[in-house]
Amino acid sequence: MPQILRFRVEKLVRDKLPEIMRAAGLDVFERTLDDEAFIQALRGKLSEETVELLAAETREELLGELADVMEVVLALGAAHGFSAAEVEARRLAKREERGGFDARVWNAAVEGAEDCPAVDYYLARPGQYPKV
């Protein structure tokens, strides 16, 4: 008789995956998350999907990972009460105000006098913007 193997998963999965896994002969141990746990799981899922996106090597892999990231982004927005239309409207508003990424601008550094109020933003985030 074959030995039963159990694997820890401990992550948010798409709704139909337990059914698909059971159809493949697996026993699945799942539960439904409450609102707070769901939001935390979505944040973790976004990080997981982003890592997979960055590792994508083919055009097809990239498209699939972009779709996964979008699914998580929309679910995270919905969990906070935002519709996809609201997220898109905010995206467009920010694009109108600050632009998109069409010009491919890379900012290597900024500098300003220590009494310049805009410098405070960078000083408040030393891990993100170290002094050089």
Q: What is the pTM of this model?
A: 0.84
Q: Could you tell me if residue 130 is inside a domain?
A: no
Percent of the chain with pLDDT over 90: 100
Mean pLDDT of 92-109: 95
Q: Could you tell me if residue 102 is inside a domain?
A: yes
Percent of the chain with pLDDT over 70: 100
pLDDT of residue 68: 98
pLDDT of residue 101: 93
What is the rounded average pLDDT for all residues in the chain? 96
Q: Could you tell me if residue 29 is inside a domain?
A: no
pLDDT grade for 56, boundaries at 50, 70 and 90: very high
pLDDT of residue 99: 96
Tens digits of residue pLDDT in 30-52: 999 999 999 999 999 999 999 99
Q: Could you tell me if residue 47 is inside a domain?
A: yes
The number of distinct structural domains making up the chain is: 1
CA 24 to chain centre: 29
Report yes or no: 79 and 39 within 8 Å, Cβ to Cβ.
Answer: yes
DSSP count for the chain of H helices, then E strands: 5, 0
Q: CA separation (Å) from 2 to 5, 9, 26? A: 9, 22, 14
Q: Could you tell me if residue 10 is inside a domain?
A: no
Q: Could you tell me if residue 26 is inside a domain?
A: no
The residue range of the domain holding 57 is 35-123
Q: Could you tell me if residue 107 is inside a domain?
A: yes
Q: Could you tell me if residue 20 is inside a domain?
A: no
pLDDT of residue 12: 97
Q: CA separation (Å) from 85 to 41, 88, 89, 95? A: 23, 5, 6, 15
Question: Three-state SS for 128?
Answer: coil
